[in-house]
């Protein structure tokens, strides 16, 4: 498990740090948009660490760090709308009650109702269960997978594996609870989220079985479908964040010992040398 998490963090760091550091220049149209919309409502989940989560009422995580940089470079202020249910956040954005979702994958359905930025983070998803007993999704025939409602891989499983039952839950913590209480045999998540939540709630019997091999690991920001100018602004910042600022973000939320999700990870000397070269 620790080895999987460690590889995940190195993969995440590499795939999100190759950007230029040129200062952005806003067009007249973009400046007018910010003047008209100085406060952007952002929908955030409570249990998706280390990307986004809420502790003691405060929104935290890697994605929050990106939003802070966007705010600093553009003057946009963000108002955070917190909800335990991803489905609720998605529906509110589609109804234009929320302006921005800061981290999600694309699906056929969401591409019809939202506008997406360029990819800015890549992650890797695994199937987790109480025991390491599955080698691929075909082994889950006539079994149940707990998936938060409206997550990208919900549709993927239903369309390609009709013999697998999908148990819809509100969030990732509820998916873990479903596996622990045997309401489902498995769940799909990335190791960082499982590590953080199982440590926080003293859960010990959730194990990674195998990585998922489908193209739902690219993460984007997305806006309501009438905020195309906001997408242009976000892309300018995301594609121009300096390597140094990205390193600071990832050291804080991915590599720092202060982060619960990876506090027990031990790097080899080779990995330490690699990280030093990336500074």
Q: Any idea which of 11-20, 44-53, 82-91, 149-158 has the lowest mean pLDDT?
A: 11-20
- Per domain, the residue ranges of the chain are 2-122+218-261, 126-211
Task: Decide if 2-122+218-261 and 126-211 have a common fold.
Answer: yes
Nearest residue to 160 (alpha-carbon basis) of 179, 182, 136, 183: 136
* Residues 2-122+218-261, CATH architecture: 3-Layer(aba) Sandwich (3.40)
Q: Are 221 and 101 in contact (CB under 8 A)?
A: yes
Question: Could you give phi then psi for residue 267, rounded to 5 degrees?
Answer: -90, 145
Q: Report the predicted TM-score, pTM, of the whole model to 2 decimal places.
A: 0.75
Task: Kindly report the CATH number that applies to the domain delimited by 126-211.
Answer: 3.40.190.10
Place of tokens 């269960």: 129
Q: H-helix or E-strand containing 15?
A: helix 2-15
Give the tens place of pLDDT for each residue, 105-161: 998 889 999 999 999 988 889 999 999 999 999 999 999 999 999 898 898 899 999
Give the model's confidence band at 254: pLDDT under 50 very low, under 70 low, under 90 confident, else very high.
low
| pLDDT above 90: percentage of residues in the chain | 61
Does the pLDDT value for residue 71 go beyond 90? yes
The DSSP bridge pattern shows strands 186-189 and 144-148 to be parallel
**pLDDT digits 0-9 by tens, 216-246:** 578 999 999 999 999 999 999 999 998 788 7
Res 275 pLDDT > 80: no
Check residue 219 and give left, alpha or beta (phi > 0: left; psi -120 to 50: alpha): beta
Q: Name the residue with higher pLDDT: 175 or 270.
A: 175
Q: What is the pLDDT of residue 276?
A: 54
For 276, phi then psi, to 5°, come to: -65, -40
């Amino acid at each position: 498990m620790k080895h999987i998490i460690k590889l995940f963090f190195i993969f995440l760091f590499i795939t999100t740090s190759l950007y230029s550091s040129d200062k952005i220049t806003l067009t007249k149209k973009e400046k007018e948009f910010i003047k008209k919309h100085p406060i952007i409502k952002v929908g955030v989940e409570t249990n998706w660490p280390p990307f986004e989560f809420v502790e003691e009422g405060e929104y935290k995580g890697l994605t929050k760090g990106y939003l802070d940089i966007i705010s600093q470079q553009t003057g946009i202020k963000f108002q955070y709308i917190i909800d335990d249910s991803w489905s609720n956040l998605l529906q509110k954005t589609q109804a234009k009650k929320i302006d921005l979702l800061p981290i999600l994958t694309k699906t056929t359905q969401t591409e019809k109702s939202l506008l997406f930025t360029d990819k800015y983070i890549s992650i890797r998803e695994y199937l987790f269960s109480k025991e390491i007993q599955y080698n691929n999704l075909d082994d889950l025939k006539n079994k149940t997978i707990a998936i938060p409602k409206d997550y990208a891989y919900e549709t993927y499983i239903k369309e390609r594996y009709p013999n697998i039952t999908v148990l819809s839950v509100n969030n990732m913590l509820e998916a873990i609870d479903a596996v622990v209480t045997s309401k489902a045999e498995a769940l799909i998540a990335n190791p960082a989220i499982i590590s953080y939540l199982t440590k926080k709630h003293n859960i010990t019997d959730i194990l990674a079985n195998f990585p998922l091999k489908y193209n739902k690991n690219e993460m984007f920001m997305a806006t309501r479908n009438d905020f195309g100018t906001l997408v242009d602004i976000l892309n300018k910042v995301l594609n121009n964040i300096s390597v140094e600022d990205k390193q600071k973000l990832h050291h804080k939320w991915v590599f720092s010992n202060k982060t619960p999700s990876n506090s027990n990870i031990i790097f080899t000397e080779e990995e330490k040398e690699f990280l030093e070269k990336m500074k």
